[in-house]
């Protein structure tokens, strides 16, 4: 029994460029452990400070969100395709494009602001 696991671009700098793996994991917890053993550099990025898998990482089995299939209780079936996608994923950067370079040069005078831009307060809880 094995499943095919497709990893997002965002993982690849922590996986030496690997985009997909074959796994014999029986369920999601086993799969996450296997990914962490295969790619130790990814572990600290995959889990938060409490050891929980970060909430913006979503898992899909054959196009369906695994949370609709029972989440951790779902038993993988032979041939399942597992997609790992941050909830708002994607990023293809046309680096080197002359217009992009012009923009980057314009914005070098950025000074970090002291307040949270999300809520506007310095002592906010937005990042907690």
Partner 1 sequence: MAVAYELRCRDCGKRFANEPLSSCGECFSPLEVVYDMDAAKRTFTREAITAGPSSMWRYQSLLPVPQDYVAPTPAGWTPLLEAPRLAKRIGAKNLFLKNDAVCLPTLSFKDRVVSVALANAKIFGFDTVGCSSTGNLANAVAAQAARMGFKTYILVPADLEPAKILNTQVYGATLVRIEGNYDHVNRLSSQIAERYNWGFVNVNLRPYYAEGSKTVGYEIAEQLGWKLPDNVVVPMAGGSLITKIRKAFNELIELGLVAEKQVRFFGAQATGCSPIAKAVKAGTDQIEPQRPNTIARSLAIGNPADGPYAVRAIQQSGGWAEDVSDVEIVSAIQELAETEGIFTETAGGVTTAVTARLYAHGRISPDELTVSCITGNGLKTTDALKGRYELERAIRPRMADFEEFVAQHEVRGVAVEDLVVGGEHVR
Binding site for partner 1 (CB under 8 A): 8-10, 13, 45, 48, 54-58, 60, 63, 65, 67-68, 83, 85-95, 97-100, 103-104, 106-107, 109-113, 115, 117-121, 125-127
What size, in residues, is the chain? 128
In the complex, minimum distance from the CB of residue 93 to partner 1, in angstroms, rounded to a whole number? 5
DSSP letters, 25-52, are -SBHHHHHHHHHHH-HHHHHHHB-TTSP
The pairing of strands 81-86 and 64-65 is: unpaired
* 43 Cα distance to chain centroid: 11
CB nearer to partner 1: give 17 or 107.
107
In the complex, minimum distance from the CB of residue 120 to partner 1, in angstroms, rounded to a whole number? 3
């Amino acid at each position: 029994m094995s499943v095919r696991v497709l990893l997002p671009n965002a993982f690849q700098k922590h996986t030496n460029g690997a985009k997909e793996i074959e796994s014999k994991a029986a369920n999601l917890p086993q799969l996450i452990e296997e990914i962490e053993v295969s790619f130790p550099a990814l572990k600290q990025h995959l889990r938060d400070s409490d050891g929980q898998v970060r909430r913006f990482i979503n898992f899909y089995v054959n196009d369906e969100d695994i949370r609709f299939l029972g989440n951790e209780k779902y038993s993988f079936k032979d041939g399942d395709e597992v997609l790992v996608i941050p909830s708002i994923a994607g990023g293809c950067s046309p680096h080197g494009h002359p217009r992009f370079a012009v923009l980057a040069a314009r914005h070098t005078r950025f000074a970090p602001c002291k307040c949270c831009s999300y809520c506007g307060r310095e002592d906010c809880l937005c990042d907690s």
